[in-house]
Amino acid sequence: MENIKIYNNVKLGKNVIIEDYCIIGKPPMNFSDGELETIIGDNAIIRSHTIIYAGNIIGYNFQTGHHVVIRENNKIGNQVSIGTLSCIEHHIIIEDEVRCHSQVFIPEFTIIKKNAWIGPNVVITNAKYPQSKNVKKNLKGAIIEQNAIIGANVTILPGLLIGKHTLIGCGSVVTNDVDDFNVVVGNPAKNIKKITDIEEYKL
């Protein structure tokens, strides 16, 4: 444990594996060691060089890839996977069975609902006008509804609602809400069909 740093007020479940050079329960700015409780459920696998800040409540069967950063005060459900080099900012809700692949960026105030699938290099944004006056007071993350599938290299603009059972094609830039069951592609992303039109996705 010499090359692992676990701060105070961290509660780990049973059979948790923490690999080399991880930091768990790091206090965010203006908080002291142990001031915020950090909980990680049973059977977690925290791979090397992952940093998990304090105040996170994480369910069972959680796993990270290598070099993951998870900022403070998030609620993360059961059986969630966060891929290598991904960054999860603060005050985010990630529900059960969500899969985030490698190099995903999830900004504060985003909500990702049950069984959503976030492909590699996906970027979700939350600032409509970056660096503008009062930008921090107007941040608004996206809501990704359950069973949504977000393809690789997709960018989602702030405050959008991505509906249930949607499919966002690789490389798309999503500038408007996406209705349930729609497939959208392009820049800007446009609806091309229903996901039920694709044989492999028939419900």
Return the domain boundaries, the chain.
1-91, 125-203
Cis before residue 188, ω within 30 degrees of 0? yes
* pLDDT per residue as tens digits for the range 65-123: 999 999 999 999 999 999 999 999 999 999 999 999 999 999 999 999 999 999 999 99
Assess whether the region 1-91 and the region 125-203 belong to the same CATH fold. Answer: yes
Among residues 81, 85, 73, 111, which one has the least CA distance to residue 99? 81
Examine the pLDDT at 53 and tell me if it is beyond 80: yes
- Least confident interval from 25-29, 61-65, 131-135: 131-135
pTM, rounded to two decimals: 0.96
Q: How far apart are CA 17 and CA 70, in angstroms?
A: 17
* Predicted confidence band of residue 29 (pLDDT cuts 50, 70, 90): very high
* Predicted confidence band of residue 63 (pLDDT cuts 50, 70, 90): very high
Hey, what amino acid is at 187? N
Among residues 37, 48, 41, which one has the least CA distance to residue 16? 41
Residues 1-91: name the CATH superfamily: Hexapeptide repeat proteins (2.160.10.10)
* pLDDT per residue as tens digits for the range 131-184: 999 999 999 999 999 999 999 999 999 999 999 999 999 999 999 999 999 999
Examine the pLDDT at 64 and tell me if it is beyond 80: yes
* Predicted confidence band of residue 200 (pLDDT cuts 50, 70, 90): confident
Give the pLDDT of residue 2: 73
* Predicted confidence band of residue 203 (pLDDT cuts 50, 70, 90): low
pLDDT, average across residues 54-61: 98
The CATH architecture annotation of domain 125-203 reads 3 Solenoid (2.160)
Pairing of strands 93-94, 75-76: parallel
Among residues 27, 3, 22, 118, which one has the least CA distance to residue 66? 22
